[in-house]
Amino acid sequence: MLSPMRLIQITDCHLGSRPGDTLLGLNTDESLSDVLQCLSQREGRANFVVASGDVAAEPTVEAYERFLETLRDQFDRPVAWLSGNHDLDAMMRTFPVEAVQREYLEFDHWQVILLDSSVPGFEHGEIALEELARLRQCLEASNKHALVFVHHQPVPVGCDWIDQYVIRNAPQLLDLLSEYTHVKGLVWGHVHQEFQSAHKHFMLRSTPSTCIQFKPNSTEFALDTTMPGYRWFELYDDGRLETGVDRIDAKSYGIDFASSGY
């Protein structure tokens, strides 16, 4: 039996415009480097990396260039990205596909569709009608097993303060995906925590950030003490999908756990 394709998701890196910029006391370059070092040690079989938004805390060319350079230096795999609410989609689109891909990936037995849920100037998510049309076109054009990535959560994850930023037209998205039995999963970032559920025939998953972690099931903003991490996927030829979360080893980052927001 052939080995499954192994896909890695990293998300919410929040890199500043300058090396060493911090988020609530955490050096986000350092934490990204720690996650990539973990990947280099544990994920030798990985074929591809998807970065699912909020690559930058401040959308500057320097932040995006540094992200790609750091990935090449520490975990040199093909990479694709999509935009989060802290990103600038127009700027991310200026990078050539030779450096980073976006929107659609096709493999022997799988298609990976990257959706833009960012709304310029706002925290919440929404999938534009053109994006929904593109999604349907992809699913109609190929019956390959499909895995869909987006930045914002399509369903509440149990944190009131961040669930107000759910994808506003998530019912449309979920209904569309439900029409196609070859859809196997919908995955996102944004919530800085692990979450799992299902909708109809496909799985729903969120992935921890490579930097600060939000405390699950919290009404108000609260940070968690769990370590930065990533999500892996095993994509089998027959459509089976296995996934899990791995985190770096325990480390003290000097995070401001008393913070009431960021």
Interval 112-170: pLDDT, tens: 999 999 999 899 999 999 999 999 999 999 999 999 999 999 999 999 999 999 999 99
B/e letters for 29-38, b = 16+ CB within 10 Å, e = fewer, are: bbbbbbbbeb
- Yes or no: say if 61 and 91 are a contact pair by the CB < 8 Å rule: yes
**In angstroms, what CA-CA distances link 139 with 41, 51, 143, 173, 255?**
35, 22, 7, 13, 42
State how far the Cα of 260 lies from the Cα of 262, in Å rounded to an integer. Answer: 7
Return the SS3 of 154: coil
Q: What is the pLDDT of residues 30-70, one digit of tens each?
A: 999 999 999 999 999 999 999 999 999 989 999 999 999 99
Residue 258: band (very low, low, confident or very high) from pLDDT cuts 50, 70, 90: confident
pLDDT tens readout for residues 12-32: 999 999 999 999 999 999 999
Strand, helix or coil for residue 52: coil
pLDDT above 60: residue 260: yes
β strands within the chain, DSSP E: 5-10, 22-23, 26-27, 48-51, 79-81, 104-106, 110-114, 145-149, 183-188, 195-199, 202-206, 213-214, 223-224, 229-235, 241-247
Tokens in use for 218? Answer: 């919290």
Which of 232, 9, 5 has its CA nearest to residue 107? 5
Cβ atoms within 10 A of the Cβ of 55, count?
29
CA angle 149, 152, 156 (to 5 degrees): 115
- Which residues, 6 or more positions from 152, have their beta carbon under 8 angstroms from its beta carbon? 84, 85, 117, 118, 124, 125, 165, 166, 167, 188, 190
**Secondary structure element (H or E) that encloses residue 130, with its range:** helix 129-141
